[in-house]
């Protein structure tokens, strides 16, 4: 498993257990750690979208 995949998996776990605020921080760190890495960027982008959806759901 790549480093990016491990970071994304940890952020997804945090999204479920620790809430979207912490998951968002982990997702941003993962995205920043892998500039120019297409597959990693796709994983991070999807995670950021999912985290944003979770934050939006909390606000309503």
Is pLDDT at 1 greater than 80 in this prediction?
Answer: no
Residue 27's domain comprises 3-59
Q: For the chain, what's the residue count?
A: 60
pLDDT, position 59: 67
pLDDT, one tens digit per residue, over 3-34 is 888 888 888 888 888 888 888 888 788 888 87
Task: With a cut of 80, say whether residue 58 has pLDDT above it.
Answer: no
Among left, alpha and beta (phi > 0; psi -120 to 50; other), residue 2 is beta
pLDDT for position 60: 60
With H, G, I as helix, E, B as strand and everything else as coil, classify residue 36: coil
State pTM to two decimals: 0.67
Tell me how many domains the chain contains.
1
39 — phi, psi (to 5°)?
-60, -40
Residue 54: the pLDDT is 77
Residue with tokens 């997804």, as numbered in its chain: 12
């Amino acid at each position: 498993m790549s480093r990016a995949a491990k970071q994304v998996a940890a952020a997804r776990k945090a999204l479920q257990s620790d809430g979207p605020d912490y998951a968002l921080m982990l997702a941003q760190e993962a995205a920043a750690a892998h500039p120019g890495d297409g597959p990693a960027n796709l994983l991070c982008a999807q995670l950021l979208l999912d985290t944003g959806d979770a934050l939006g759901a909390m606000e309503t």
